[in-house]
């Protein structure tokens, strides 16, 4: 006899008593905690009931429920009810995470390395995470270039790094660098050098292959950094619609960028516990996980944060900033921060050669220099570890540089 949805539940959804049924209440609480509306919660619970029936009919154990089974269920559901699947992948990801967290579903298996190159690249990722303490985004940025390099050099064959020479490494960089921007190319050579140092540390190679990685030409020191004038920064801030929840959030983000020079990744990582209201300070954590700094919290920034937090959607996460719609989860990367900056700059009608989040960091440093701040003071606020990173702002103060310029031999011309 085919099972049917006969068991009534208070939430308005009937379930068939399949493997998921004991976890209906937990799933509902999870959805509500992530900020879904009551109508959306009910919609997802009905999807939950369909999935429960689907597994019951196939007599499958809950322990082996995984992403592959989710895809199979959605494929069959789309064939019969295309409109029902709207939002389904997101809802079922939440369910799968919940079931894994409480231990009733097998942990997610990492992809199995099938070649020596993949195994070595995975060892490098473990090293970056456990020994270097790098964040997930940084590990991805470095290792993706290493994956490509090893795949092109060795394919499925055994990896022999000792056979590599300056031509192999240089040719790889020359082949890929022109296809992307300077920042991408610089990240590529940094990742390769990091990997070769790892290989030397592990005794895989004895020679310093990192020294054979060519440098990417940089013209950062050839001119002043791109920045916005003070009036333009104010126009951008004024373009934020602070009457809405999203507007309050975006305004607080923009003020952190403009007043304190935070990086987009530092905005993403900011936690509720990092705000010290009593002492008026803000803890800023390094994206690379290797340090933190305590900065004074300006009054206008504190007020913007307070106004946002008063209407911030309820979320189980401790991140200060969450998405503007359910599920109210944190940003997982810095990209959305730069996107919202670009949109506000366009809305303000400000013309700028750069529209990412970093433009405010450059603008802050430039304005500080014009007001008489020293390069050391700017470096401390921006948390530069390399003095050369701060030195580029000296080019902005052209009047001061003219005083240092040597006279032209034979007189001025």
**Residue in 28, 361, 362, 383 annotated catalytic:** 361
d(CA 19, CA 61): 7
**H-run or E-run covering 220:** none
**Residue in 69, 129, 246, 287 annotated catalytic:** 287
Catalytic (active site) residue 145? no
Contact at 8 Å (CB) between 210 and 197? Answer: yes
Sheet holding 292-296, edge to edge: 275-276, 281-285, 292-296
**Residue in 263, 312, 323, 383 annotated catalytic:** 263
DSSP 407: P
Catalytic (active site) residue 227? no
**Residue in 354, 358, 362, 383 annotated catalytic:** 358
- Which residue carries 């220099």 as its tokens? 369
- Number of other CB atoms surrounding residue 229 within 10 Å: 13
Catalytic (active site) residue 76? no
Catalytic (active site) residue 81? no
292 bridge partner residues: 285
Catalytic (active site) residue 358? yes
**Residue in 129, 235, 384, 395 annotated catalytic:** 384
3-state class percentages of the chain: helix first, strand second, coil last, to nearest 5 = 60, 5, 35
Half-sphere exposure of 12 (CA within 13 A, CB side): 11
Torsion angle (degrees, nearest 10) of CA 192, 383, 388, 146: 10
**Residue in 43, 44, 328, 393 annotated catalytic:** 393
Please identify every residue annotated as catalytic.
263, 287, 358, 361, 384, 393
């Amino acid at each position: 006899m085919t099972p049917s949805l006969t068991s009534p539940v208070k939430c308005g959804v009937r379930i068939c008593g399949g493997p998921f049924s004991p976890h209906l209440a937990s799933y509902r609480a999870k959805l509500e905690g992530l900020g879904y509306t009551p109508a959306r919660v009910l919609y997802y619970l009905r999807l939950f009931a369909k999935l429960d029936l689907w597994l019951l009919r196939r007599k499958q154990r809950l322990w082996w429920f995984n992403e592959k089974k989710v895809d199979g269920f959605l494929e069959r559901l789309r064939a019969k009810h295309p409109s029902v699947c709207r939002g389904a992948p997101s809802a079922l990801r939440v369910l799968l995470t919940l079931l894994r967290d409480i231990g009733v579903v097998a942990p997610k298996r990492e992809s199995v390395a099938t070649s020596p190159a993949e195994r070595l690249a995975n060892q490098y990722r473990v090293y970056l995470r456990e020994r270097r303490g790098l964040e997930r985004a940084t590990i991805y940025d470095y290792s993706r270039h290493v994956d490509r390099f090893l795949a092109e050099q060795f394919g499925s064959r055994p990896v022999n790094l000792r056979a590599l020479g300056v031509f192999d490494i240089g040719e790889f960089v020359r082949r890929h660098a022109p296809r992307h921007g300077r920042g991408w190319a610089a990240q590529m050579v940094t990742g390769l050098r990091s990997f070769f140092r790892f290989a030397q540390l592990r005794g895989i190679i004895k020679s310093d292959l990192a020294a054979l990685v060519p440098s990417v030409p940089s013209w950062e020191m050839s001119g002043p950094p791109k920045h916005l004038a003070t009036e333009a920064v104010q126009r951008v801030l004024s373009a934020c619609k602070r009457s809405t929840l999203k507007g309050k959030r975006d305004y607080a983000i923009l003020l952190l960028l403009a007043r304190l020079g935070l990086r987009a990744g530092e905005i993403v990582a900011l936690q509720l516990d990092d705000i010290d209201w009593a002492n008026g300070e803000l803890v800023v954590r390094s994206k690379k996980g290797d340090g933190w700094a305590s900065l004074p919290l300006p009054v206008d920034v504190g007020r913007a944060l307070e106004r946002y937090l008063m209407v911030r959607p309820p979320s189980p996460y401790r991140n200060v900033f969450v998405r503007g719609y359910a599920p109210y989860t944190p940003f997982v990367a810095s990209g959305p921060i730069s996107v919202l900056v670009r949109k506000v700059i366009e809305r303000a009608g400000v013309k700028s050669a750069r529209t990412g989040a970093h433009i405010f960091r450059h603008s802050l440093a430039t304005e500080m220099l014009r007001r008489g701040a020293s390069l050391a003071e700017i470096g401390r606020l921006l948390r530069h570890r390399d003095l050369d990173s701060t030195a580029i702002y000296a080019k902005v103060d052209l009047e001061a540089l003219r005083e240092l310029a040597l006279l032209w031999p034979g007189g001025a011309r």
